[in-house]
Structure 1
Amino acid sequence: MLTSKLEVLVDFGATADQKLVDKTLNELKSHDGVVEAVFKDGAIMVETNLPSTNILDMVTKTSGKRAVLQGFGETQSAVAMISSQSCCQSRVMGVIRFQQSTEGPLVADGSIDGLSSGLHGLHVHDTGDLSQGCNSIGGHYNPLGAPHGAPSDEVSSRHAGDLGNIVADETGRATFRIVDNVLKVMDIIGRSVAVTDKKDDLGRGSSPTSKIDGDSGKPVACGIIARSAGIFQNPKRICACDGVVVWDEKDRPLAGRGRRVEKKSCCQKDKENSGEFQRCCKV
């Protein structure tokens, strides 16, 4: 069983309630697929083979507190924030994290919202060029010049970037954890990852594009793959530039409109909350 280690930062406050911490840890440990869960340096470290989104949901529901994935993996890690890049009428957004041990397979762990229900192809593409949105990311990452195939195919019978299909439920969310023996994290940093509007036929179809892209259609969302922090490698709790704490940051854009709380500066008293400071100032 290939596991990953996750660092889950939870908004327990300045002094964590030990009973609440223990309750959260015990709930995690009660689930199959969770090997270990410990509270360390103000965060919960979880070793698991479950998707990180499932772990975050468990922590949030059990503790009643805000939680965010602060670190993923112990060694080589990367992340892609994907979106529809204004390419489509629908709004698709998500996060995909990549992690790899020194000599082990790659793990692609993600959650994407806004998809139509059903199967969608997932592929790593050649470039990280988003100048024309998802139209400028090139073809599938394919250093050996192989035909398109399935993740289970031999290296000579698939693109290195072929990650198969993910499944979106009736709400449009796809949560997944893919283990791949071909891709290497250090080879894909700076490239892009995309999800397509149709399912990937894995190179088994009769369409002329089956051996090119699995007849999976155009990307509906994409993003650049960037290096990211492993567990306990990122001490950030608050963004000094705008006062947004890490728990709130995950629900806001990286910059621009909507990033900060409108009409209130950090540490300004909130009249609607009996003169107390906004929570953005509490770390």
Structure 2
Amino acid sequence: MSSQVKLEFDVEMTCQKCVKSIENALTGVEGVKSFNVDLDKGQVIVEGTAGSEMVKNIIEKTGKRAVLKGMGGTQDHLGAAVSIMEVGKDSVRGLIRFIQSDTDTLVIDGTVDGLIPGNKHAICVHECGDISDGCNSCGEVFTSNSSHKPAEGEFGDIIAGSDGRAEFRITSDRIKIWEMIGRSMIIHNCSSDRAHRPGQPDERISCGIIARSAGLFQNNKKICACDGVTQWDERYKPVAGPGRQANL
């Protein structure tokens, strides 16, 4: 199943030395198929299967600030979406992006902070984009066929590291991005008895509405319309925890 995507970053670069350092950092990285560094545009395009947060961290280890501006698949017109996980437990925050990389494959790319280290957490699309009563008003896990097991909206489990952060990249061929827009994404805390109740995740700890987002080369934003700060300052506003950026 194909899951190649292109990641578009704005990167602060001033000279060819910057370009070379980024090229050296990305060369030979597992999951990076190809890349292009454009000094004039301040832009880095990376194609492959590597997660966006991992690639961003690699670029920033060169000493250059980077902001993810867009993601796209082999057929960019198929769309992109995002869910900001900001409802539920105050300690759990995250950003999950969705790309329909081709007609058959959905890529789920996310970073979530504040999870219990080592615990399994299930991530699922739920029926309703209604967070009026927090995560409890989002309905059940989405499925177009009640007999389908697992449900189309179930993406499996993620596990946080010792710092409570989970970075993940998952693919699914059971649901399309256009079936998800306007619904909600929920992170469940799975109890130890979940093995005896498959398909029945437990406590809803964080959720967010799934909304359309910028695809590749579709985000020209330099100043956030919400708060008037530049993208370089906005990246420090907490979404997936202190110091995490949320450039949609």
Given the two structures, how large is their TM-score scaled by the length of structure 1?
A: 0.76
Could you tell me how far 1:26 is from its partner in structure 2?
A: 2.2
Higher relative contact order (CA 8 A, sep 6+): 2
Map of 1:145 onto structure 2: 146
Partner SS, residue 195 of structure 1: strand
Map of 2:159 onto structure 1: 167
Could you tell me which amino acid in structure 1 is paired with residue 224 of structure 2? C
Q: In 1, are the aligned partners of 2:84 and 2:208 still within 8 Å (CA)?
A: yes
Structure number with larger C-alpha Rg: 1
Could you tell me how far 1:101 is from its partner in structure 2?
A: 2.9
Could you tell me which amino acid in structure 1 is paired with residue 196 of structure 2? S
* Percent sequence identity over aligned pairs: 40
Map of 1:23 onto structure 2: 21
Partner SS, residue 157 of structure 1: coil
Q: In 2, are the aligned partners of 1:107 and 1:180 still within 8 Å (CA)?
A: yes
CA distance in 1, matches of 2:172, 2:192: 16
Residue by residue, what CA displacement relative to the aligned partner does 1:94-126 show, whole Å, maximum 9, x if unpaired? 110000134231000001000001211110100
Could you tell me how far 1:247 is from its partner in structure 2?
A: 2.4
CA distance in 2, matches of 1:42, 1:161: 37
Map of 1:150 onto structure 2: none
Map of 2:216 onto structure 1: 231
Q: In 1, are the aligned partners of 2:81 and 2:211 still within 8 Å (CA)?
A: yes
2:83 maps to 1:80: yes
Could you tell me how far 1:55 is from its partner in structure 2?
A: 0.4
Residue by residue, what CA displacement relative to the aligned partner does 1:168-215 show, whole Å, maximum 9, x if unpaired? 00100000000111110011011111111126988xx334xx34x2xx
2:247 maps to 1:247: no
Map of 1:280 onto structure 2: none
CA distance in 2, matches of 1:29, 1:43: 17
Q: In 1, are the aligned partners of 2:106 and 2:171 still within 8 Å (CA)?
A: yes
Q: In 1, are the aligned partners of 2:4 and 2:101 still within 8 Å (CA)?
A: no
Q: In 2, are the aligned partners of 1:11 and 1:247 still within 8 Å (CA)?
A: no
Cα distance change on mapping 1:123 and 1:240 into 2, 3 Å: closer
Cα distance change on mapping 1:44 and 1:201 into 2, 3 Å: farther
CA distance in 1, matches of 2:191, 2:213: 29
Q: In 2, are the aligned partners of 1:164 and 1:200 still within 8 Å (CA)?
A: no
Partner SS, residue 20 of structure 1: helix
Map of 1:222 onto structure 2: 207
Q: Which runs of 5+ in 1 are unaligned?
A: 147-155, 255-283
Could you tell me which amino acid in structure 1 is paired with residue 115 of structure 2? L
Could you tell me which amino acid in structure 2 is paired with residue 248 of structure 1? D
Given the two structures, how large is their TM-score scaled by the length of structure 2?
A: 0.86
Cα distance change on mapping 1:178 and 1:241 into 2, 3 Å: closer
Map of 1:115 onto structure 2: 115
Q: In 1, are the aligned partners of 2:34 and 2:48 still within 8 Å (CA)?
A: yes
Q: In 1, are the aligned partners of 2:126 and 2:183 still within 8 Å (CA)?
A: yes
Could you tell me which amino acid in structure 2 is paired with residue 167 of structure 1? I
Give the aligned length.
Answer: 231
CA distance in 2, matches of 1:225, 1:199: 26
RMSD over aligned CA atoms reads 2.0
Matches within 5 A, 1:1-283: 2-12=3-13, 16-40=14-38, 41-62=41-62, 64-74=63-73, 75=76, 76-83=79-86, 85=87, 87-88=88-89, 91-118=91-118, 119-146=120-147, 156-198=148-190, 205-207=195-197, 210-211=198-199, 213=200, 216-239=201-224, 242-252=227-237
Q: In 2, are the aligned partners of 1:165 and 1:200 still within 8 Å (CA)?
A: no
Q: In 2, are the aligned partners of 1:120 and 1:200 still within 8 Å (CA)?
A: no
CA distance in 2, matches of 1:191, 1:98: 13
